[in-house]
Amino acid sequence: MDVFGLIGNPVEHSLSPPMHEAAYEALGLDARYVTFEPDADAGASAVAAAETLGVAGLNVTIPFKQDVLAAVEPDDLAARIGAVNTVDFSTTPPTGYNTDAAGTVRALRRHDVVLDGTAVVVGAGGAGRAVAFALADEGMTVEIANRTVERAHDLAADVPRATGHGLDDLPDLVPAADVLVNATSVGMGEDITPVPADLLHGDLAVLDAVYDPVETRLLRDAAAVGATTVDGVWMLLFQGVAALERWTGRDAPVEIMNEALRERL
C-alpha cells in the first residue's frame, strides 16, 4: 500500500484526505492519504522522516512551504516562487513542486478564461506569489496590489512583467484588467471583500482563493455585473489534481475529486 499525506500545523480541518482518497478508489489504487502535524519548526525534518518511512508523496501547507526547501530539490517554478507544496520521493533527493501555481491556471481554464492581457493579483503573501508567477508564465502582465506596498514591490521585482502597488491603486487597475485574483484571506468566514464592487465589470474573470464560504461577497459582486466567477474550491481542487498526477503518473478523476471536496464544504 502506498502512503501519501499532508504536513502542516494545524491540519485537523484539511479537506485533502477525502479528495485524494476518492481519487485512489476511483483509480483502483491501493493507497491512503494521511495527515501529519509536526512542530512548527520541524518542516524539513518531517520531510526527511517521511522519506525514511517510505511515504510516497507529501503535500505541504502552512507553515512549512518555505522550510521544506532545505530538504528537497525544487523544480524551477518552485525555486522561483520560493515555496513547495508537493514533494515527490521517487527521486533522490526528493523533488519539490508548487502545484498552487498549476491550480490557479487550471481553475481559470476550467472556466474558459483566456489568460491574456492584464491580471490584478490582490495579495503578496504565499498564495499571491504562486498566482503572480503562474499568470506571468502564461504571458500576462501582472499588477500586484497589497496592503503593505513594499511587499508588492518586492514580489514584482521577482516576477516577469509585474508591477507592485498599494491597495489604493485598485480603482486605476481593476477597470482595465482582464483577470482579478484575490490571493488574500479577506472574505474568509466574513461577508467582506478586498475589492469595491463598483470597480468590477462584465469583461472580467474573478478568481477568489477563499473557499469558506464558497460564494464570497467578491464573487457575488462579480456575478452581479456579469463577470466570469471562479470559486476557491477549484483552485484547491486543481492543486490536488496536479499533485496526484505527479505522484502516480495517472490522469486524475477530476469530477470525482471535485464532488468529494464539495461534499465536505
pLDDT of 144-177, one tens digit each? 999 999 999 999 999 999 999 999 999 999 999 9
Question: For the residues of 106-117, what is the DSSP string, one character each?
Answer: HHHHHTT----S
Exactly one of 6, 38, 61, 65 is catalytic; which is it? 65
Could you confirm whether 229 is annotated as catalytic? no
Q: What is the pTM of this model?
A: 0.95
Give the pLDDT confidence score for residue 226 in this predicted structure. Answer: 98
Which residues does 126 contact at the CB level (< 8 Å), separation at least 6?
Answer: 62, 65, 83, 100
Q: Which H or E run contains 263?
A: helix 254-263
- Please provide the size of the chain in residues: 265
Give the pLDDT confidence score for residue 99 in this predicted structure. Answer: 97
The gap from C-alpha 246 to its chain's centroid, in whole angstroms, comes to 16
Give the pLDDT confidence score for residue 192 in this predicted structure. Answer: 98
Question: Are 196 and 187 spatial neighbours (Cβ–Cβ below 8 Å)?
Answer: no
Task: State how far the alpha carbon of 226 is from the alpha carbons of 65, 126, 187, 194, 229, in Å.
Answer: 36, 29, 20, 19, 9
Cα torsion angle, 60, 63, 66, 70, sign? negative
Residue 196, all three cell numbers: 469595491
Amino acid at 80: R
Q: Which residues of the chain have pLDDT under 50?
A: none
Give the pLDDT confidence score for residue 109 in this predicted structure. Answer: 98
Give the pLDDT confidence score for residue 178 in this predicted structure. Answer: 98
- Can you give the C-alpha Rg of the chain in angstroms? 18
Question: For the residues of 201-239, what is the DSSP string, one character each?
Answer: -TT-EEEE---SSSS-HHHHHHHHTT-EEE-HHHHHHHH
Question: Are 73 and 94 spatial neighbours (Cβ–Cβ below 8 Å)?
Answer: yes
Q: Which H or E run contains 129?
A: helix 126-137
Cα torsion angle, 173, 116, 180, 96, sign? negative
The gap from C-alpha 5 to its chain's centroid, in whole angstroms, comes to 17
β-pairing, 86-88 vs 95-97, is antiparallel
Give the pLDDT confidence score for residue 187 in this predicted structure. Answer: 96
Domains of the chain: 2-97+234-263 (3.40.50.10860), 101-230 (3.40.50.720)
How crowded is residue 43: how many other Cβ atoms within 10 Å of its Cβ?
A: 24
Question: Are 252 and 103 spatial neighbours (Cβ–Cβ below 8 Å)?
Answer: no
